[in-house]
């Protein structure tokens, strides 16, 4: 009989054990109070369970499992000392003995980076350079393609268009300052490397710093220097006066600062204001045709300073002045190819030297110095040919009568105009200077200024021999501040006994001496030994 309620089975109807369905009966707490107690108990148990699990898991993290072998843990304590002292400044403002760091000898830890790249397959077991050029005349790596008019051996940039090196016409030297003979080595690690490799040391840098300090101390408030009245500007009793020529004196005061890498744009430069005042003074004195005044000697010196300052800073204001100065030099050249005291009045090798170096400084700054209609440099070569001796190794003042100073001037001009160091005339001239007129045998700072540059560009054993004698000679000549009654002379070089001391005085002597001690980095080498040619043999 079927049950009237299908949800309730018949009491007498029991299914077999293996076929009976499983009945799960949910027991619900009866009443509201029992439900709340159940929920509260459930929450308490859940919280306690979570806390216990967290504690157990944390303890497990700190349990060390012993894998068998006993281990010993050694604890070392490392003490770190923090030095709050600022490092000593490594610059040319330190005029104490020792230069960059008076407490240490000159040490640099610079990884050598070559100044120029040479195309061709890499040969790791050979010196940098192309081995097939070993027996050829040394060649400089020309400026990068696209700059037009590469001169090859130290020629920098040649163009008949102003500002060719920068399409905007406002740029400066660009790659030109890094061309052979350029001014791109005057600061940073490049200067340090050139100083070390060239044979400079902390004593030479200290001497340079002392010379710069003396020069800026004797600069006038309006930015100029004076050959015959510098003691008034220094408010001291310094002596050693020269002839009156403020343009030449200002150039002599400015060039060593530029040689040390100081410019009016250098934010951290100690002498930036001194450079700015000197440049402003020269610009004020320059007239419409570009002449700075004071004669061609002074104009050549001032032109070099202005061109270098422009090449180092790309200041468009300086570009106008520098180009105008170059234009005046070109217009002042005589038919003989030379220059003398006044424009177009003949020539002498001494004045020619300053004009050629001004032209080359302008050329490496990207200025117009030459063109086919007016080949200024080619005409200058004509003058050098006229004053050259028969063996090609000597030069005279106004003809082929060989003198040490004019030979040094002529040789430097030849090197900058492209003559290689293997040229017979260059070799004869080098041997004449180093054998017959080594450092200490000629009383002329003017001679040493030019001769030292020649030897530095030649490089190799010739330079090492010269530098070993020139360096101590200059250091010994510098005033150490012990002159009785004249302590303000410290850092300068005196004119007494020098053949040109009466004309240039203490300002010129100090300037040329500092420039000579800056030779290691003032101009990049014209001929690098690792670029091809072999060093000049000594005989």
Q: How far apart are CA 430 and CA 426, in angstroms?
A: 6
Instruction: Give the chain's mean pLDDT.
Output: 79
Q: How far apart are CA 394 and CA 385, in angstroms?
A: 11
Q: How far apart are CA 454 and CA 382, in angstroms?
A: 20
CATH code of the domain made up of 131-531: 1.50.10.20
Contacts of 207 (CB under 8 A, 6+ apart): 99, 474, 475, 478, 514, 517
Confidence of residue 180 (pLDDT cuts 50, 70, 90): confident
SS (H, E, C) 416-431: HCCCCCCCHHHHHHHH
pLDDT tens, residue by residue, 183-206: 888 888 888 999 999 999 999 999
Task: Look at residue 183 in the predicted model and tell me its pLDDT.
Answer: 85
Confidence of residue 374 (pLDDT cuts 50, 70, 90): confident
Contacts of 42 (CB under 8 A, 6+ apart): none
How large is the average pLDDT for residues 42-61? Answer: 74
Contacts of 181 (CB under 8 A, 6+ apart): 154, 156, 360, 364, 416, 457, 523, 524, 525, 526
Task: Look at residue 175 in the predicted model and tell me its pLDDT.
Answer: 45
Task: Look at residue 320 in the predicted model and tell me its pLDDT.
Answer: 97
* pLDDT over 70 percentage in the chain: 68
Q: What is the domain partition of the chain in residue ranges?
A: 131-531
Beta bridge partners of 395: 388
CA 366 from chain centre, in angstroms, equals 18
Burial group, residue 483, by CB count within 10 angstroms (0-12, 13-18, 19+): middle
Residue 163 has pLDDT above 50, yes or no: no
**Residue 157 phi/psi, 5° resolution?**
-115, 130
Confidence of residue 366 (pLDDT cuts 50, 70, 90): very high
Closest CA to 138 of 152, 124, 127: 152
Q: How far apart are CA 97 and CA 82, in angstroms?
A: 29
pLDDT tens, residue by residue, 103-160: 444 433 444 444 444 444 444 444 444 444 444 444 444 433 333 333 322 223 333 3
How large is the average pLDDT for residues 502-510? Answer: 98
* pLDDT over 90 percentage in the chain: 60
């Amino acid at each position: 009989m079927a049950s009237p309620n299908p949800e309730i089975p018949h009491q007498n109807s029991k299914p077999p054990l293996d076929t009976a369905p499983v009945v799960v009966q949910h027991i619900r707490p009866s009443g509201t109070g029992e439900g709340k107690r159940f929920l509260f108990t459930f929450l308490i148990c859940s919280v306690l369970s979570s806390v216990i699990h967290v504690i157990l898991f944390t303890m497990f993290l700190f349990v060390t499992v012993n894998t068998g072998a006993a281990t010993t843990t050694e604890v070392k304590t490392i003490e770190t000392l923090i030095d709050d002292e600022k490092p000593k400044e490594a610059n040319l403002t330190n005029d104490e003995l020792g230069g960059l760091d008076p407490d240490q000898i000159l040490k640099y830890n610079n990884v050598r980076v070559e100044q120029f790249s040479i195309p061709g397959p890499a040969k790791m077991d050979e010196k940098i350079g192309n081995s097939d050029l070993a027996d050829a005349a040394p060649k400089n790596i020309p400026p990068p393609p696209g700059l037009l008019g590469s001169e090859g051996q130290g020629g920098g940039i040649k163009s008949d268009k102003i500002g060719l090196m920068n399409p905007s016409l406002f740029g400066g030297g660009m790659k030109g300052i890094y061309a052979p003979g350029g001014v791109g080595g005057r600061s940073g690690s490049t200067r340090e490397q050139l100083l070390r490799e060239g044979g400079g040391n902390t004593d030479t840098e200290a001497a340079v710093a002392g010379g710069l300090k003396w020069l800026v101390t004797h600069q006038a408030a309006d930015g100029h220097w004076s050959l015959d009245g510098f003691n008034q500007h220094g408010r001291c009793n310094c002596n050693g006066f020269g002839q009156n020529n403020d343009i030449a004196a200002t150039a002599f005061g400015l060039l060593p600062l530029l040689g040390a890498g100081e410019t009016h744009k250098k934010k951290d430069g100690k002498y930036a204001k001194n450079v700015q005042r000197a440049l402003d003074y020269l610009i004020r004195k320059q007239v419409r045709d570009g002449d700075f005044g004071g004669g061609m000697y002074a104009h050549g010196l001032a032109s070099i300073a202005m061109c270098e300052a422009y090449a180092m800073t790309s200041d468009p204001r300086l570009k106008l002045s520098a180009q105008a100065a170059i234009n005046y030099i070109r217009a002042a050249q005589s038919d003989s190819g030379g220059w003398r005291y006044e424009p177009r009045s003949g020539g002498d090798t001494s004045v020619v030297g300053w004009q050629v170096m001004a032209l080359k400084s302008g050329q490496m700054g990207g200025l117009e110095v030459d063109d086919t209609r007016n080949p200024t440099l080619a005409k200058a070569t004509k003058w050098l040919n006229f004053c050259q001796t028969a063996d090609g190794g000597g030069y005279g003042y106004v003809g082929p009568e060989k003198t040490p100073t004019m030979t040094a001037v002529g040789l430097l001009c030849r090197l900058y105009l492209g003559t290689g160091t293997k040229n017979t005339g260059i070799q004869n001239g080098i041997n004449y200077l180093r054998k017959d007129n080594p450092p200490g045998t000629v009383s002329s700072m003017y001679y040493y200024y030019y001769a030292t540059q020649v030897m530095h560009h030649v490089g190799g054993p010739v330079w090492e021999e010269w530098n070993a004698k020139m360096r101590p000679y200059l250091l010994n000549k510098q005033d150490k501040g012990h002159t009785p009654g004249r302590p303000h002379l410290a850092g300068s070089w005196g004119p007494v006994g020098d053949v040109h001391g009466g004309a240039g005085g203490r300002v010129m002597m100090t300037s040329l001496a500092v420039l000579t001690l800056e030779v290691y980095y003032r101009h990049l080498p014209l001929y690098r030994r690792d670029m091809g040619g072999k060093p000049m043999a000594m005989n």
